[in-house]
Amino acid sequence: MLVVACAIGMTGVGPVAAGPQDDDTGAAPPVAVQADGNIYKKGSTGSAWVRIDGAGSSGGTLESGQEQQVIKAAAAAAGVQDASSAGGDSDGSANEGSGGTSSMAPVFTECSWRAADLPVNAPEWQGNDPATGQLMVDPCNGQQVYVFVPNEALGIAAAVAPLPPPDPAVLAQQAYAELVPPSPTAHRSPAEDMPGGAWTVVNLWTWFWVDRAGWVPLTRTVELRGVTATVTATPTVTTFDPGNGDALVSCDGPGKAWVYPGGNSDPQPTTVGGCGYQYRRVSDGVQATTSITYAVTWTSNTGAGGNLPDLAGSTTSAPFRVEQIQVVVGGS
């Protein structure tokens, strides 16, 4: 992209010369670099502004030799090696008879390109970000010529802005979605391996419980760009769905294992931690579901945290019978 702007005292801008020509050959004069950038003086006869593109071209506004000169000066100001100067001085002013190299310090002349020592909000920047290139100036014969050389033309890779830190709440939602409670190992009374297959009895207490080995907190952590969020699911309640359309029955904790023969009474008032339910009618092919409910919280290394909806893991039994015990009293 080429932009040319004219200011005070200029009626137009054609090809902008970097300085007087040395001879009639049309070649640009050798560049003399003053890299400290502290010799800028505002002229009174106007100014011109040119932008060189990433390929190092001014679109014909500057002569090719002048384009090379300003790029070399910009490379020196940026402290990088100009790719086109391999085998010669980085300032383009090799001494004749010295084999193409020179140990002489850069020379300042009136028509030298140098970094414009201007504040970042100066209008001469034309809205360009100083981090993306070099603004060069040539005050030859009192006229100010500004050339913006982007970093691409100097072989400097564009800086990649660091990504902002992620929202820990978003990471917590990801961890929550990945935290799937396992199906608990569930039991009920009487023992499932009783003779005659799985069964229970109307109006007697059916105890239910889950293995204590599975009654443990679950955690999941997600990390991104130094931010971590950890979701913790803590088991709180065991719930029994009798499978016959009755309401669910819940109790705190994992329940307590049934032990024959004293396990036909209500487990809750008589046994600490016991859980039970009474079937009231005969059924065949009932399937009960036992679940563990988990209370869920999250924390992060940023200090943020909070609560999330409960999770649950469930197990459904194989079909079993609910039978009626009948007592027959015989006469003598």
pLDDT recorded at residue 280: 94
- In this prediction, residue 160 has a pLDDT band, given cuts at 50, 70 and 90, of confident
> Cα–Cα distance between 188 and 257 in angstroms, integer?
8
Scanning the structure block, which residue is given the tokens 């039991």?
Answer: 187
Cβ burial 7-25 (10 Å sphere, 16+ → b, else e): eeeeeebeebbbbeeeeee
Per-residue pLDDT reduced to its tens digit, 209-267: 999 999 999 999 999 999 999 999 999 999 999 999 999 999 999 999 988 765 677 88
Share of the chain above pLDDT 90, in %: 39
pLDDT recorded at residue 43: 42
- In this prediction, residue 325 has a pLDDT band, given cuts at 50, 70 and 90, of confident
- Dihedral (CA of 237, 238, 241, 246) sign: negative
> Cα–Cα distance between 189 and 212 in angstroms, integer?
17
Question: How much is the CA Rg of the chain, to the nearest whole Å?
Answer: 43
Question: Is the model's pLDDT at 300 over the cut of 60?
Answer: yes
Q: Where are the domains of the chain?
A: 4-154, 168-323
Per-residue pLDDT reduced to its tens digit, 99-111: 333 333 344 456 7
C-alpha distance from residue 165 to each of 159, 171, 220, 222, 231 (Å): 18, 11, 20, 13, 19
pLDDT recorded at residue 5: 37
> Cα–Cα distance between 7 and 98 in angstroms, integer?
42
Tell me if 113 sits within 8 A of 147, measured CB to CB.
Answer: yes
Per-residue pLDDT reduced to its tens digit, 8-57: 233 333 333 333 333 444 444 444 443 333 333 344 445 678 888 888 88
pLDDT recorded at residue 242: 97
> Cα–Cα distance between 174 and 170 in angstroms, integer?
6
> Cα–Cα distance between 117 and 91 in angstroms, integer?
19
pLDDT recorded at residue 239: 97
Highest mean pLDDT among 58-67, 131-140, 204-213: 204-213
Tell me if 212 sits within 8 A of 254, measured CB to CB.
Answer: yes
Cβ burial 109-128 (10 Å sphere, 16+ → b, else e): eebbbbbbebeeeeebbeeb
> Cα–Cα distance between 317 and 319 in angstroms, integer?
6
Q: Which residue, 78, 105, 74, is CA-closest to 89?
A: 105
- The structure tokens listed for 80 are 């990088």
